[in-house]
Amino acid sequence: MQKVNLTDYKVYGVMGETFELPSDYEVLGFLGSGAYGCVAAARVGNEVVAIKKCKQIFQSRTLAKRTLREVRLLRLLSHPNIIQLKKVLLPRYPNSYNSLYCVFQCMETDLASVIRSGQHLSDKHVLYFSLQLLRACDHLHDSNVCHRDIKPRNILVNANCTLKLADFGLSRIHAVEGDTRTVQMTEYVTTRWYRAPEVLLGWGSYGTGIDLWAVGCVIGEMVGRTPLFPGSDSTCQINLIVAALGKPSKSYISNIRKTAFSEMLSSLPDDDLSHKRKDIRAVISESSVTSYKNVEIPITPSADGVSVHCLNLISSLLVYDPIDRPGAKDCLKCKYFCSDNSYRASSSAECDPQKIPTMSTKVAADEFTFEKGRVTFDLLRCELLCEAKYYTQKEKEEQQQQQQQQQQQEVQEMKEQIDMVDDSSLIPSSGDLKELDIDAENCHQANKCMIL
């Protein structure tokens, strides 16, 4: 069994969780925790990073696949509004490890914390956060990736309003027509409050439209400061959505696989005003949640003063049929992001959707063959180890490149010094040189040695 020298590691206790890290990492404090791991801030060199400990990942295949899926996707995806996975630390025991440490760029907080706080969120804040979130979705969907768990807690932000989409453990490669290599998407996706109707109602299939529904919920939550559809269970969730959007069409109901929901929606009277679609202002204002995880929300839900273009964007995303929802690219071209306003004038280069560079490359389904069938733990362990080795090798190559650049710089500096010496105007005359005190006998002995 391979084992790294103990002297190369330090052990830290973080909120009851043990972090065993290489000695060049210094843990600074606790950042957060969840069902699948604990996150701590750490310093390595002059940089502060976030280290996520994915613990007991081989307790189940589901958890091991989730970890591998996120690590691999983040290696393949690169975008300013997607969290960067900087490194996966090589396990101390490569043949029998059960925990994995992933090093991410460090962000200051998440959007859920900002929404729950009492600080003011202007329309400009909502616009800029929405823009960056849709940029991330556009890149994902162009890359054939469906996030499936977009919610404020998975959206990380900094004080300068930089936004990064995180937590790709539930993501999937979106099935392309005729491609049998991609895995069938599961029914359980995203937190219930942000779950699209087609998932709740058991449609036969779904795609990237579920991400756009979640985006609509998130933007609405930023505006009203409370979740739009805070259902306590699936039935309650459907009732809240129906109360806001009205009764769905008969063709939509015919696609519902869950008989109980199909019969419930079919029984709703068509002429009942309570089952007609509401104005989005009313939906936001009627949000009923006044506390979140025992934390009081200090602001009363209201859409007053919000840009009409923002409300129109939310309305366009919160529709039953995913075909009727605009894609992320279409959203970026809507009037909300293209209208002439003071914020636009002050930072048009940053926000202009037309100036967003095209960086999307299709994520190959061959990278995710482990999703299909019953793979062994040994295979999953090996695949995760390969991901860690990729970052280790990449780091070595970068260090070698830096050394080569430094050597080239030193050679260039030496050449410049030689060129200066070759300049006759810089060579002193013999009269300016101080005489050297040369011992004739020592000089003679040195010459003999050189000849020998």
Please, is 349 exposed, middle or buried when counting C-beta atoms within 10 Å of its C-beta (0-12, 13-18, 19+)? Answer: exposed
| 110: β partners | 156
Mean pLDDT score, 63-92? 94
Confidence class of residue 80 from pLDDT cuts 50, 70 and 90? Answer: very high
Least confident of 65-69, 85-89, 122-126, 415-419: 415-419
Task: Please check the confidence at residue 83 and state whether its pLDDT lies above 90.
Answer: yes
Instruction: Please report the pLDDT score of residue 43 as a whole number.
Output: 96
pLDDT of residue 111: 96
Is-above-0.75 flag for pTM?
yes
For residue 354, name the pLDDT band (cuts at 50, 70, 90). Answer: very low
Residues 128, 140: Cα–Cα separation, whole Å = 19
Residue 102 DSSP SS3: strand
The predicted pLDDT at position 5 comes to 47
Mean pLDDT of 237-257: 89
Non-local (6+) Cβ contacts of 182 within 8 A are 172, 173, 174, 175, 176, 365, 368, 371
Quick one: pLDDT at residue 333? Answer: 93
Tell me which range, 1-10, 79-88, 287-296, 335-344, is most confidently predicted by mean pLDDT. Answer: 79-88
Range name among 212-216, 385-389, 409-413 with the lowest pLDDT average:
409-413
Output b/e per residue, 16-33; b: 16+ Cβ within 10 A. Answer: ebebbbeeebebbeebbb
Nearest alpha-carbon partner for 300 in 311, 312, 288: 288
- Lowest pLDDT segment from 213-227, 254-268, 273-287: 273-287
Q: What is the pLDDT of residue 177?
A: 43
Mean pLDDT of the chain: 81
The burial of 206, by beta-carbon neighbours within 10 Å (0-12 exposed, 13-18 middle, 19 or more buried), is given as buried
pLDDT at 137 over 90: yes
pLDDT band at 348 (very low <50, low <70, confident <90, very high): very low
Total Cβ atoms within 10 A of residue 343: 15
Structure tokens at 263: 């019969």
Mean pLDDT is highest, among 113-127, 167-181, 328-342, for 113-127
* pLDDT band at residue 338 using 50, 70 and 90 as cut-offs: confident
Number of other CB atoms surrounding residue 84 within 10 Å: 15
What is the per-residue burial (b if ≥16 Cβ within 10 Å, else e) of 214-225? Answer: bbbbbbbbbbbb
Does 440 score more than 80 pLDDT?
no
- Residue 448 confidence (pLDDT): 46
Residues 6+ apart with CB under 8 A from 350: none
Mean pLDDT of the region 99-110: 95
pLDDT above 70 as % of the chain: 77
Long-range contacts made by residues 291-297, C-beta under 8 angstroms, separation at least 24? 292/112, 292/116, 292/226, 295/116, 297/116, 297/225, 297/226
Q: Is the pLDDT of residue 70 over 90?
A: yes
Residues noted as catalytic = 149
pLDDT at residue 302 tops 60: no
Tell me the two tokens of residue 410: 């030193």
Find the mean pLDDT for residues 191-209. Answer: 87
Average pLDDT value for residue range 84-108: 93
Q: What is the DSSP string of 283-307?
A: HHHT----EETTEE--S----TT--
The pLDDT of 421-442, averaged and rounded, is 53
Backbone dihedral region for residue 301 (phi beyond 0: left; psi -120 to 50: alpha; all else: beta) = beta
What number of other Cβ atoms are within 10 A of residue 336's Cβ?
Answer: 24
Choice among 59-68, 227-236, 386-395, 420-429 with the minimum mean pLDDT: 420-429
pLDDT band at 451 (very low <50, low <70, confident <90, very high): very low
